[in-house]
Chains A and B, each alone.
Chain A
């Protein structure tokens, strides 16, 4: 019996149960909860790292533990740990809900760990729903109930809409192939991809993943939810939950997509629409979280470019980009959380004079936004570069050109934010922002990681290539 096979999942489940227990016991104590979450998620990272080399197919082939899933589980654990790091004082969530909050993000992470290992359409669906339900509640937890609940409802409506389409697609796929196992589908669909019904099933099934990824046309929830949720929850949504979406769509497309020229066309439409819409809409945004929400939509478009290459190098570039997004998005939200000390939403103008109020945060914001925009030598540049190279290898020249134009547009609004942080003078007197030493270290380490991974991406690229090597 290899205990480590399901080590990260079981551990996260137990941790989540622990927080549920604390919550039931009453007596809220957010300091204790935070410390516990910090320790638990830290150990979780180590556990996920040590389970990296596990490999098995379990439970009558519905659950697959391989390098691909383990790499993503490690990324998820790291993401969870990072998020917990900034959850010291979640002002926008009531004291009595803090342990629920921790329980929910642990449950959500657990669901996403299951998602990245799913080898069966139903496993994928169930874990997707589990993670979404945790998120619906997390979004609604905001102290300003009207904002939170409105966002939660919108999130929920779009979510069930996507789920319904996904289930319908699965049903069609099952009807055509009599199987829901991904490995079996891979074999059964061979040569059938030309049939419209099969294609319909695949595209509709994708809608669930696209919803998770915040991709057009299921991006409708993103701006409102990013704006309405508490800052920490938005950070979790943006940085961590996207990872699982990428992993799931990669595994699904790699299994069913071979030889699907029409599927590539559909994904191409989604990709172009997603990045163009996201970037254009972001230009006029004044709320920083909303802006980052639209930028997420645009990034979903870039991710789809890597997916639609249907090649190992494209998949590897997506895995690399997942890592890049985790670090970049988290750093940006770290700054949001710290600058908006009282938990309110952050207007771009409120960043004025940030470089004097807190040089470290200003630098972190600048590097992360440059990285999101894809300026060398940051990790965002390398990630985009790898994706574009993979697309060029497959001859998607026009697509890469459109993506480049989009990168250019995105630079504009990122620079607006940087300009606010570095060049605008604050209107009233604003004192320096109190940033604790661990936060400074964290911000510096993240900046260092972004630059270093951009400068020397080889180790990460090799991991990404090895990870996608196990995909069919």
Chain B
């Protein structure tokens, strides 16, 4: 068999592509921390290499039939063999390309956003770590390796969320993100162990190849699927572990862009897609996932309706869109979920990066203030923001429209078309809150302008102002992403045949039903946008949302359905006052006492033995001789 250049270069491309950011992370942390320019050059160079490599791989393997494995042995313990290596299949290639592209754009954007930050080098080091972890996660061939990088993704997002560690809220948010996702990860790891015990190995391809009949009982399959899904719930901020994501907005905005589009939260959905055939084994579990996805989507949408913080609105929308992807996947729409993941990565990154321009300039996150201070003066970012919001709301012909329709189609063909109802409600809510932001910023009503706004219309360049060079650097990635958002939708057909390995989609329902659903979704989105316009956009609008007029509902939504309060209450009552008191007593009395005793004894022993060394050499030699003599004497008896 002749080897084409593609076959030969696949492995080197994988190694350099995924390894380059790690090298840059190490170099930055060790050598170039005091040289910000060199650090960002290294980091961007590395991620460019990754991007080039991923593009090369994508082009090379376009239309591949069988997944390619490159594995080496890592650990062998009796009959459990844990390899490490790379798995190349359409899904991992697509993810690799998305991750490297978004990382590259965000890092370029950060040149402007993070300029003159004292932690510039550290920022780029963590960004590299993040990129490395996420890309390696994408190409992991087995669950253990995936789990390792899964945790590394969690770690690097913790580092980046708490990047401004002088700020108390930032460290708190970082901690919250870490702890909440860890809660899910524990379940994930238990699921991995369950799979290992019952399937004998952790190879993703083999796990996906399991069929019900092969001695793998339905219950075990469902249980391990649900446990693994626990990790997805944590990582992708689904109900009930969704409250960390809005708090994670404490990090720099480019970090949020990265976190919300291609890395971290996307990791959860990616894992779902990765193990899709395995999850499909248990319909009961899939129904549960569908319900969780739906619930998260609706909850988060309602929260987004009332938030005045632009980043938080997008954060809630991320939760709701992730819920939407999970709905699509859980309904059996493998391609629909992955496609929505891809398009969402583009427009969500765009949303955050655009908002970042405004936030950076005006120094506030409040949409009303942003509107009042004239954010529309930044033409390009604002246009991009409109494009992205349109994509989020599902306006044709933007990318979001196509992927949402795909998910709708999946739901229609899924177990029960009834799930379409909440999905359609979600579409309406999404359009409403997306355009609420646009109208509030785009049409600042006169009433909303604060008296001081006039004087601050041209804020001094020194304080928050963006220097022209920085601005240009930040706008570049926006334009690229906007174009992607505009045109990615048209790649649906080719992406679908790539991901599904050439199989056409099976048409369960007639085109007419699909058309009906599409029309319904479109009109609902239009209604949502229209309502937003009525309340915020038109002249003389009250600029008060529907929900805000019902105080009880408003409180419920803005307090995030009191989820945090409930958690807090449970923590206080159950953990702080209940379990931990008992543990504390055990710790103080039993463990500390024992350990202290042991420690003191050990230290005393050490002192005594060190004293031996003080003796004269003759006595020491005598001691040594005595030992040997005693030992030999014991041999004779």
Contacts and interface: CB of A to CB of B under 8 A. Distances in A.
Interface of A: 153-154, 157-158, 161, 165, 196, 199-200, 203-204, 207, 216-218, 220, 223-224, 262, 266, 269, 277, 280-285, 359-360, 363, 409, 412, 440, 444, 456, 458
Contacts of B625: 161
Contacts of A359: 30
16 contacts: A161-B625, A203-B635, A207-B628, A217-B628, A218-B624, A220-B617, A224-B613, A280-B605, A281-B606, A281-B613, A283-B606, A283-B607, A360-B30, A363-B30, A444-B30, A458-B73
A193 to B, nearest CB: 11
Q: Which of B606, B607, B623 has the most CB of A within 10 A?
A: B606
B29 to A, nearest CB: 9
B620 A220 contact: yes
Contact of B617 (A154, A196, A199, A409): A154
A280 B606 contact: yes
Interface string B57-83: 000000000000000111000000000
B632 interface: yes
Given A220-B613, A456-B74, 7 more contacts: A158-B617, A158-B624, A165-B628, A218-B624, A281-B609, A283-B606, A458-B74
B606 A282 contact: yes
B18 to A, nearest CB: 15
B613 A280 contact: no
A200 B613 contact: no
Contact of B610 (A204, A285, A412): A285
Contacts of B624: 158, 161, 217-218, 220
A283 B609 CA distance: 10
Nearest to A157: B617
B463 interface: no
B583 interface: no
Nearest to A222: B613
The 6 closest A-B pairs by CB, nearest first: A283-B606, A217-B627, A217-B624, A280-B606, A281-B609, A220-B620
B1 interface: no
B636 interface: yes
B73 A283 contact: no
A154 B606 CA distance: 22
B584 interface: no
Contacts of A207: 628
B8 interface: no
Contacts of A281: 606, 609-610, 612-613
Given A220-B620, A458-B73, A196 B635 contact: yes
Q: Which of B74, B621, B635 has the most CB of A within 10 A?
A: B635
Contacts of B636: 196
Nearest to A218: B624
Contact of B621 (A158, A199, A285): A158
A153 B618 CA distance: 12
A204 B627 CA distance: 12
Interface in B490-546: none
A224 B614 CA distance: 10
B627 A284 contact: no
Interface in B593-637: 599, 602-603, 605-607, 609-610, 612-613, 617, 620-621, 623-625, 627-628, 631-632, 635-636
A284 B610 contact: yes
A159 B529 CA distance: 90
A238 to B, nearest CB: 17
B635 A269 contact: no
A211 to B, nearest CB: 10
B628 A204 contact: yes
B121 to A, nearest CB: 13
Contacts of A200: 632, 635
B501 to A, nearest CB: 33
A203 B609 contact: no
